[in-house]
C-alpha cells in the first residue's frame, strides 16, 4: 500500500510541476516603480506590463501611449518599430505624460508586432506594414519622474521564444 501511495504522489507531483503557466514577476526600481510582467513569452502572445507606483507620492509617466521596445542584436539594443497611429491616418497626438497616483497602476500592452509605413497606394497614403517580431531578448524603456523631481529612465528585459 505504501508503494502505491508513493507512486501516486510522484505522478501527481510530476504532472503538477510540468503544467505550470508562468506568472508575472514583480521587480521594483529605484523605490518608485514596480514592473509586473512575465520574464518570457511565447511568440504571438500579448505582452501585458503593469506599472505600480510604489513611490509614496504621485508618479509622472512619460510617453504612456508610445511603448518603446528594443531588441538585442549582436550585443547592441535596436529599436523595434511600433506605430502609435496607422500610416496616413489623422490621429490626435498621444499624451506626453500622465500621472499615476500614489499606490496606483498603469497597464501597457504590446501585441509583439513591429509596424512601419510601406509603399503609398494610388491615393498617396502609405500602407501600414507589420510582422510578428522574431524570438530573442527584448527590453521595454520607461521614463518617469518621482517625488525627487528628476526624470529617470529604466529598462526591463524579457524574452520572446
Domains and CATH numbers, the chain: 22-160 (2.60.40)
Strand partners, 86: none
pLDDT above 80 for 19: no
Instruction: Answer for the pair 32, 55: CB distance below 8 angstroms, yes or no.
Output: yes
Asked which of 16-20, 92-96, 132-136 is least confident by mean pLDDT, the reply is: 16-20
Q: What is the pLDDT of residues 72-92, one digit of tens each?
A: 999 999 999 999 899 999 999
pLDDT band for position 150 (cuts 50, 70, 90): confident
**pLDDT (mean) for 104-115:** 95
Nearest to 133 by CA among 66, 68, 81, 65: 81
Q: Could you report how far apart the first and last alpha carbons of the chain are, in Å?
A: 44
30 Rama class: left (phi>0) / alpha (psi -120 to 50) / beta: left
Distance, in Å, from the CA atom of 49 to the CA atom of 142, rounded to the nearest integer, reads 11
Strands 151-160 and 40-41: parallel
| pLDDT the model gives residue 14 | 42
pLDDT above 70 for 21: no
Answer whether 0.85 is exceeded by the pTM: no
Grid coordinates of 22 = 508562468
Percent of the chain with pLDDT over 70: 81
149 Rama class: left (phi>0) / alpha (psi -120 to 50) / beta: left
> Element (H or E) spanning 115, and its range?
strand 113-120
The chain-wide mean pLDDT, for the chain, equals 85
Amino acid at each position: 500500500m505504501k508503494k502505491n501511495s508513493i507512486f501516486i504522489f510522484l505522478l501527481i507531483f510530476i504532472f503538477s510541476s510540468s503544467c505550470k503557466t508562468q506568472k508575472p514577476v514583480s521587480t521594483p526600481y529605484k523605490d518608485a516603480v514596480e514592473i509586473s510582467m512575465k520574464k518570457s513569452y511565447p511568440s504571438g502572445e500579448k505582452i501585458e506590463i503593469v506599472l505600480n507606483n510604489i513611490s509614496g507620492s504621485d508618479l509622472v509617466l512619460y510617453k504612456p501611449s508610445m511603448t518603446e521596445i528594443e531588441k538585442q542584436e549582436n550585443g547592441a539594443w535596436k529599436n523595434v518599430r511600433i506605430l502609435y497611429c496607422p500610416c496616413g491616418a489623422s490621429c490626435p497626438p498621444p499624451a506626453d505624460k500622465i500621472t499615476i497616483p500614489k499606490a496606483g497602476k498603469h497597464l501597457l500592452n504590446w501585441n509583439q508586432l513591429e509596424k512601419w509605413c510601406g509603399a503609398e497606394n494610388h491615393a498617396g497614403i502609405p500602407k501600414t506594414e507589420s510582422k510578428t517580431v522574431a524570438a530573442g531578448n527584448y527590453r521595454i524603456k520607461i521614463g518617469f519622474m518621482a517625488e525627487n523631481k528628476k526624470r529617470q529612465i529604466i529598462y526591463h528585459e524579457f524574452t520572446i521564444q
